[in-house]
Structure 1
C-alpha cells in the first residue's frame, strides 16, 4: 500500500504535515491546520485509513500533534473522528494518540476532550513539554 504524504506549509493557509504509512502501520498529523478546504483534506486522510483496514486488516496508530487549528478544521476533525469511531466499532484495530503541550497550555487538551466527547472515539491524551 502506498504511503500518503502531505508536506505542510504556512502560506496563505496553514497545512499540517501528514504521513500515513502502511509499512510502519503508523500515521501522523502535525503542525497547524487553517485550511481552505478542511473537509476534503481530512476526508482524504479518512479514505486512506479506511482503505488501509480493507487491505491489511492489521493495526494502525495515528498520532495527532496540532499546535493550532481553526473552527472549520475543528469541524472537519470531528467528522474524521466520527468516521474513525465507526471503523473502530466495526473491528478496526486503531489507536489514536492526541499530543498536547504541557498543562500550562490547556487549550489543546480541552479541544481534544471536546472532540472525544462529541465523536465518542477513544483517544490517548499524551502530554509533551514545549
Structure 2
C-alpha cells in the first residue's frame, strides 16, 4: 500500500498518509461542499490499511474548524480505527487544538468518549496545515 499527500485548500485539510511510518495526519479546516467526496477515498484507504496491515497506527488530527458534515466523516474514520484496535493493534489518536479553542478540545473529548483506544489531547499555539493552500478542492485517490 502506498502513501500519499494532499495539500490543504481553503475548505479541506491537508492529508498525509504514510503506511510505512504507520501515520495518518489531517490538519486545517474541513468544510468541503461534499465531504463524502473528499473523505470517501480516505475511508476506503483506511479500510484497506485495517484489513492488510500487521502493524499499528498513529493518527494526528489538528483541525482549526470542521463543519457538521465533516464531523460525521471524522467520526466514521475514527470508527474504522476501532476495528483495528479490536484486532489487537495499537491505535493512538493525537488530537491537537489551539490553546484558546475550548470548543475544539471539547469536540475531541466527545469523539474519544465513543472509543476505547488512546486519545492524547495536545494544546498548541496555532494549527498549521502541511503544504500550501490551493484554490482547488483536492480529491483523494484510492491507493
TM-score range (shorter-chain normalised) is 0.7 to 0.9
What's the C-alpha RMSD, in Å, of the aligned pairs? 1.9
Q: Report what 1:123 is aligned to.
A: 119
Give the counterpart of 1:37 among 34, 38, 57. 34
Unpaired runs of 5+ residues, structure 2, are 127-143
Q: Normalization by structure 1: what TM-score? A: 0.83
Conserved? CA contact 2:46–2:80, under 8 Å: no
Distance in 2 (CA, whole Å) between partners of 1:32 and 1:119 is: 23
| Greater CA drift, 115-124 or 14-23 | 115-124
Size of the aligned set, in residue pairs, is 126
Unpaired runs of 5+ residues, structure 1, are none
Q: Report what 2:3 is aligned to.
A: 3
How far off its partner does 1:121 sit?
A: 4.8
Give the counterpart of 2:58 among 57, 61, 66. 61
How far off its partner does 1:8 sit?
A: 1.4
| SS of match in other structure, 2:44 | helix
Q: Which has the higher contact order (CA 8 A, sep 6+)?
A: 2
Conserved? CA contact 2:3–2:16, under 8 Å: yes
CA offsets 1:36-93 (integer angstroms, 9 cap, x no match):
2223433422332332243330122110111010111111111221221122112232
Q: Report what 2:139 is aligned to.
A: none
* Gap change, CA 1:56 and 1:80, over 3 Å in 2: closer
Conserved? CA contact 1:4–1:48, under 8 Å: no
- After TM superposition, the structure 1 = structure 2 runs for residues 50-129 of structure 1, keeping only pairs within 5 Å, are 50-102=47-99, 104-119=100-115, 121-129=117-125
